[in-house]
Every structure is written in structure tokens, then in C-alpha cells.
Amino acid sequence: MSDPQQWHGTTILSLRKGNRVVIAGDGQVSIGQTIIKSNARKVRPLAGGSVISGFAGATADAMTLFERLEAKLEQYPLQLTRACVELAKDWRTDRYLRRLEAMMIVADKQISLVLTGTGDVLEPEHSLIGIGSGGNYALAAARALIDTDMDADAIARKAMGIAAEICVYTNNNVVVESLAC
């Protein structure tokens, strides 16, 4: 499996503020130095809208993981952490899934998590998560903005805009999904 730190081509940010949790993702898909698509949708609701998720990494791999997570959420309804742990176990031990190159952020009303192919299911400090090539830029911007009067959606959009100004693999075509907490 490739080192997730080397993946290029997306920025996903999640944050919690007030009574909202948001996940934002840019729309750029790049192969090498070429932009292939500018309006990809890397953030989506799952489990009938009770969970939101975003991915960084190979698109086909992420679609497989979305499907697997949906199945785990059906198996363990209203238990996001349990569903994610079960997915991470499969991801790490299954010969096919082990080769998938993606990371995911998932959130429901109670918790936000990062899932990786190395078996990690991590809850972030300060309810802020950034993944992908521009993830650290968006994360830093969101940390700087979290104590302002801006709401969660506005912080996510502003932070993603800042990341797009810095990271050549991130664009301003941002999709934001949110849940009331």
C-alpha cells in the first residue's frame, strides 16, 4: 500500500462547532500534474443521512469503502464507532481490501473519526480533522478560525479556500455536508 502522506489530489476537512458537524471536500481529481476533473463529489451522506463521510485517495477504492461502511452501518445501526472498527478490521485483514488506497473521515451526531487502511480508527482532538494533500492546510486554517464568530459551514468553506490557495491539488469547488448535533 502506498504511503497516505504521498497521495495527491484532494482535501477533506471535518469540524464540529456549536450544534453542527460538517465535512467539506474539494472537487479536484488529478493524475500526476494534470487535472482530470474539477467537480468530483468526495463527500456524501450515508446510512439514510445519519452519517456523513469524505474520502481521500483512489476513487474506486473509496467507493468500495463507502459500500462496505454502509453494510457495517446496517449491521450495527446507530453504532458508528463499532461499524468503523469492524470495517477497519476487514480493511486490514482482507487480501482484497488491504490493497485499497484511501482514507476516510466519517461523522454522526456524536463522534467524528478517521479510518485508514492500517487499521486506525481515530477520534481527533478538538473535533477537527484534515486529510488528503491539502488536509494540513485546511486543518491549520480551521484551527485558526474555530474560535471566531463564524459558524461551522463558514469555517469549513473559508479553510478549504485557504487550502486551495496553497495546495495545487486542491480547488475551490467545495461540497459541504452537515448534520445537526
**Closest to 29 measured CA to CA, from 19, 20, 39:** 39
Grid cell of 158 as nine digits: 473559508
- For residue 131, what are the contacts with CB-CB under 8 A and spacing of at least 6? 4, 11, 12, 54, 56, 103, 105, 114
Residues carrying an active site annotation: 10
Grid cell of 58 as nine digits: 483512489
